[in-house]
Structure 1
């Protein structure tokens, strides 16, 4: 009988504009993830490790999104594909034979295009770039292994998860489940700045290791919304039903693209720093067509086609979350062996057969004007009236839409979601 490896994937995605936290850089110093110096001249080269894994990570993001949609197309979706990819790539360091092949295939890595070592060097590079404390956005990503006192990890595995994934290895007493659970919950609460509390309600009795991956993100719009013009408005759930939401407004120039083929508007709303977001608004009745076309090539075309144009933009304030059974979703994507008694994770520990018993993922996102700091120093812009021909289009996100948060430094899809009801209670 295999012992249980509880793989726990955590994300806190905060897109709220608020006061800068002073403890963020302190926490990064504790993490001890090295970052690159300001001279990024080498980033011009196409052979950089993070550049090589970006297409595979994008493929995985859109495949996983479509799998979530199959489960329930009428609910809000929000998750971090990068968090899930990172956790399973890290686990693959200890996988062998068919278990390893399934993981690579499920994560969209083709070993004819890159070597196994290049995958891990790619994630190592991503972690270095994301955790750079000089960035204008608050962005922190890390990994931890909680290991039972009785479990002896192979030194090679421990070296690799530490060197490539900067994972913390924390000794825990899983013979005392309440104590181990309390310790893990406390770690999660700290790393997510108190936003995810008491995630674990119980641990399976044979659990010997818990792997945690987390991302914390807090971005500030380059062009904040003026909270004085936010007002109640209708958000159309479908042809017959609507809910009241707080709708934000802007009348400025944005990078936009009208995709006639897919019948949708694409609006880029950038953050300060090197992170941006894409909001995609399909025409009435075309959401499924749009979702079916979600591929890295589609998003690449949108980004290349963006043009700056003045628009009237309506965007709802919202706070949504998603909780996912990653084991169930990946099994439907063909990754089955790692969760079964046939799992070959013989590269993880000495004399212990392991399988993954659970894999969970939780993500939350808040979108607002720009928080308490800017509300105290409201700026009202006045512009002369002019007769513009043609008038700026009004792009109103008052019906279900998609969103992505993209890190420009690594070309990584940090977060992805579908907002079908901004007023829905969190999971």
Structure 2
């Protein structure tokens, strides 16, 4: 029997702990109904972002940390006004909550997860990086520090070592699992808002390495990929239906869980993901039973990097990426907009457990024209190119690009 494509879906809201500067964190905080609803709404955002990214990359792996993305964008949302604030509120599923309620909810959720499982390593870090000459409102920095425990740093973005400074910070916070997250700093960049997550958990019931053996994984195009298959027989929490099988793998003292969802053979993976709504998610994780079973799954190490602009634009946040954006609650004026939202993830699953990391970078630019509606062009799908001489229009090269080599 072929092992078809898996969705290694981690309960990403639990990939959280906090690293802080002078701010204190209360690990004994109780979760209120507001925090529960904000957490649930963050899942709604994460699932719709996952569906959109899957639709945009039907043949590729998509591995995201919804909480990392929502945290970074929530900090940016605090600086938005007018139509920009409304668009971000709608996309992030913030409902009718006030800024104070949203910010307190994030703070309390971070506090809550801090010491939830003493046997699992979790680290969470936020930072705001400002280009030295650019004025930024103290009120915005105060919010990021108070509610998101963000570090604030000033940096000359034009300096030779600026990219390395930011990448080194991300690498440090993710135990070197996310490296070179930022490729370059565009001219006119004025700010970076960054979230970094690191998770390392040991299975409650580990796989015996002596049972791991060579096997094959069959990808979305039915290509046979050699791999190492782990196996164990145990009492698992399983949800089996006509459409899918879901099995839960708890970590250490069961505060954190990985759920692996395997669609039935007649259900294409992209079709399944497109229907992964909050109701379907609740059905998957809620309707389970204890079942003795033998689980066979691949050992794997996967890296993922993507620009989220197109997906976020498709979801309704497009104004934030144009000169019409209003982030005057950060800069005290309009004419600043989000240039890129860069997302990196790392996932390793082996006999002992899981190690995972994520980083989300929100990059702000100052519009040269001060508020004009500048179109955003992303070359992220097949295109035609030509190289020609301008005066004679003689074509030297012409081509069609339908795919590009993977670069990691």
TM-score norm. by structure 2 comes to 0.78
CA RMSD of aligned residues (A): 2.6
Q: Does 1:97 align with 2:82?
A: yes
> Does the CA-based 8 Å contact 1:320-1:425 persist in structure 2?
no
Q: Is the 8 A contact 1:146 1:171 kept in 2?
A: yes
Q: Which residue of 2 aligns with 1:244?
A: 226
* Counterpart in the other structure of 1:8: none
On the 8 A contact 1:130/1:141 being kept in 2, the answer is no
Unaligned runs of 5+ in 2: 1-7, 11-16, 354-404
The partner residue of 1:264 within 210, 223, 244 is 244
**1:141 aligned residue:** 124
Aligned residues: 343
CA apart distance, 1:319:
0.7
1:367 aligns with 2:345: no
Q: Tell me: CA distance 1:256–1:179, structure 2 relative to 1, closer, same or farther (3 Å).
A: same
Partner of 1:76: helix, strand, or coil? coil
Query: Aligned partners of 1:134, 1:35: CA distance in 2, in Å?
Result: 15
1:315 aligns with 2:297: yes
- 2:262 corresponds to: 281
Q: Which residue of 2 aligns with 1:381?
A: none
SS of equivalent residue, structure 2 residue 43: helix
How far apart in 2 are the matches of 1:190 and 1:116? 31
Cα displacement (A) at 1:282 = 0.9
Offset, 1:240:
4.8
- Alignment counterpart, residue 200 of structure 1, candidates 182, 194, 215: 182
The structure 1 residue matched to 2:281, chosen from 289, 299, 302, is: 299
Verify: 1:156 aligned to 2:139, yes or no. Answer: yes
Instruction: Find 2:98's aligned residue among 91, 100, 115.
Output: 115
2:38 paired residue among 53, 64, 72:
53
> How far has the Cα of 1:132 moved from its partner?
3.0
Aligned to 1:35: 26
Match of 1:386 in 2: none
Q: Is the 8 A contact 1:130 1:140 kept in 2?
A: no
Cα distance in 2 between the residues matched to 1:95 and 1:160? 13
Q: Could you give the per-residue CA deviations for residues 30-86 of structure 1, whole angstroms, max 9, x where no partner exists?
A: 57551323xx6x44xx52x42120221111111111111111211111110111111
Partner Cα separation in structure 2 for residue 319 and residue 165 of structure 1: 30
TM-score normalized by structure 1?
0.75
Higher relative contact order (CA 8 A, sep 6+): 1
